[in-house]
Amino acid sequence: MATLISVAGLGGLGFAWADEAPTASSEDEPDLTIIITARARQLYRAQETTSGKLETPPLESSLNIQVLNEELIRDQGARDAQDLYRNIAGVSLFSYAGVTARGFRQEEIFFDGLRGDPYVAFSVPQLFNVERLEFLKGPAGMLYGPGAPGGLFNYITKTPKNEFSARATAVVGTEARKGGSVEVEGFLPGDKAPATRLGVFYEDRNTPRRNSGSEVLILDGGIKTDLGPAALTLQATRYEQNLQGNRLRGVPTDNLGNFLADRRWNHNEKSDFLDLTANVLQARVAWPVSENLTVDAGLRYSKSVERQQYHEPRGLTDSNRDGVLDLSRREFRDQERDLEQLSFGANAIWSRDFGAVRNRVLVGVDAYRSELINNNRPSLLGGFTAVAGLPAPLSLTNPVYGVTDPKTYNLKPRVRTSAIQERSGAYLLEEATIGQFIATAGVRFDRYEDQSDASTFEDEKATWRAGLVWRARPDVSVYGQWAQSYEPQSVSSQDPRAGGPFAPTDGEILEGGVKTELLGGRLQSTMAIYRIVRGNMLQSDPRGDVDGDGIDDLVAFGEVTSKGVEFDLAADLTNNWVLTGSYAYNDTRITKTNGATVITNSVGDRFANAPKHKAGFWTRYQFPKLGLALALGGDYVDVRTSISGQKVRPYTVFDASVIYKFGPWSTLLRVDNLLDKTYAASGFIDRTGHFPGEPRSVFLEVSREW
């Protein structure tokens, strides 16, 4: 007799053979199949988060953290970070790995709570070795030091396991997509063997833009061993991204947001490229010192090398004088970036009850150092007519590639520049629970130093946060928080001849909301209302060169206010039907300027690429007896404005997945942009246009588990 257990919602469709099957009493007795169906409510929801540095159930936290777990990543066939932004309320694409979060441009990325993004400037994080993504909304200066006030991304990587498991996957799809991956965990024999993990991911495909392609290789491994009182986890990852026809800018548009060229138009030649190689080493120690005291520490080192050659659009003209821009002049750029990063963090959590007061104290320190070396050639600018030895212009409507050959360009020698960042901080957070109330208060002290070839600047900063949670019912919490953030001004802006040095930008949030786990946890939701004020933003001094030293001055006189409402939910509608949804309203406005010059990325009194409305959903219905699940998602982004003031049209796109599992085999059929909508994912500047959303694509993924 075979016993088949179907656990819906704990890992894909989750069919698995039972460890021990009862023995049939007779060979003639027919097989009995037992189906056990569990609720799907945990399929896309995490029960605890770590980005607050105190592991806390969502209903007990005054932080607003949205979690995208491995099951959601897998069901949506997500390969890189851009595939996930649509799931996060208040987050939309800005450019590359940058987003607009609660109205502010945000590019800060952490891995396992540590700085050290290996993807340098223009490469997008890949998800093969990511277990889940946690997005901490709002200012997080007290916990993480300098950063934008909209929030921060914390990628939680896959760690070694003791129990053996393996998964092999192959994929084929449109745009000549092909690839595969293998993951093996717990492969060392013996009950006391260290936990292990090995993973390999490879994928090669054309991308929708002409001349462009993507080849990605990720090698990932780890080992976790018991040192007696503590556990040590060692991880190593190598990333290789070879992107043909990159770095990709947008497609030019008119002022109403209509593309002036086909969405597959590319300003790059076939020989252009963006190649990234990165090696990451990470070590973590977890030490439960006693029942009341735990200590953990992490060290992360990364070395990244990014090489790129590309043709940058540098202006548009109407070549045939019919009133329509149809020709782009181009500039050739040859750039190299070497980035070395070292990050350290340690936390101690002490807990003790004092009568009716449950108490937890977090004490932590962190430090970060990065050195970026740019080794670039001066750009070579062509005109609106073809000239030998210079980049030729490119038609928007009838592009002809190969007319220009970078090998014939008269390039100047490389110019080497360097920039060093050093950050260090110490923080203290107190959490006290009294009856139905949970109060937190914390402070952090930071010291930072920035160096460039031209100048050096150092300073220190204190940031605070406070929060309060009222457990109105076991399944309902009301929360509020006040928190601060800061970001040092660019070291290039600290020149005394330009009016520097300047204090960092500062951010402050007031947020309140309600979190629920209703219907026995089947309906989980968060509703938040917030106000963020960001000040001390630099602008050009309208008086120009005040001191007559040949350098135009700056003034720190800018303020931006972001107000918004967000709502997200995960509902177990039935035993087999789950739904996630999100909605965000945001109004970000310039509330203080010098009256004569603008703040970077501002357009009038608003910010670029900041939609007022954004909504999304993902729903999945499964048929356990068939081993089948169907999923559909949608994403709506409201009208926006590009940096140059051009309209970015609103859009709605739909995606779908079909998941089928039989025994140890599973298949995923994924369709992105189901209706083949032509749209702009975000805007940029007029000469480079808007970033086009990808046309419809399809891929089939087949997996085998052991």
| Residue 278: predicted pLDDT | 96
- Cβ pair 242, 275 in contact under 8 A: yes
pLDDT of residue 45: 64
Which amino acid, one-letter code, is at 374? N
Average pLDDT over every residue of 270-292? 95
pLDDT of 159-208, one tens digit each? 999 999 999 999 999 999 999 999 999 999 888 899 999 999 999 999 99
pTM of the entire predicted model: 0.89
Percent of the chain with pLDDT over 70: 93
> Nearest CA to 141 among 398, 407, 380, 442?
442
Distance CA 554, CA 494 (A): 9
Q: Mean pLDDT, to the nearest integer, of 359-364? A: 96
Q: What is the pLDDT at residue 29?
A: 38
Question: What pLDDT is recorded for position 381?
Answer: 94
According to the model, what pLDDT value does residue 520 have?
A: 86
pLDDT, position 590: 86
Span 48-81, pLDDT tens digits: 778 889 888 889 999 999 888 888 888 888 888 8
Q: What pLDDT does residue 358 have?
A: 94
Bridge pairing between strands 151-157 and 109-111: parallel
pLDDT at 318 over 90: yes
The average pLDDT across 6-27 equals 33
**Strongest mean pLDDT among 7-11, 35-39, 269-273:** 269-273
CB count in 10 Å sphere of residue 228 = 6
**Domains (ranges, CATH) in the chain?**
65-393+441-705 (2.40.170.20)
pLDDT for the residue numbered 42: 57
Say what the pLDDT of residue 594 is: 76
Among 327-336, 413-422, 445-454, 545-554, the minimum mean pLDDT is found in 545-554
Range ranked top by mean pLDDT from 450-454, 541-545, 603-607, 676-680: 676-680
Report pLDDT for 8. Answer: 30
User: Which DSSP string do the residues of 607-647 spell out, in sequence order?
Assistant: ETT--SEEEEEEEEEEETTTTEEEEEEEEEE--EE-TTS-E
Task: Give the Cβ contact number of residue 432 at 10 Å.
Answer: 15
Between vectors from CA 109 to CA 310 and to CA 306, what angle results, nearest 5°?
Answer: 30
Compute the distance between CA of residue 278 and CA of residue 306 in angstroms, rounded to an integer: 8
Of residues 594 and 339, more confidently modeled: 339
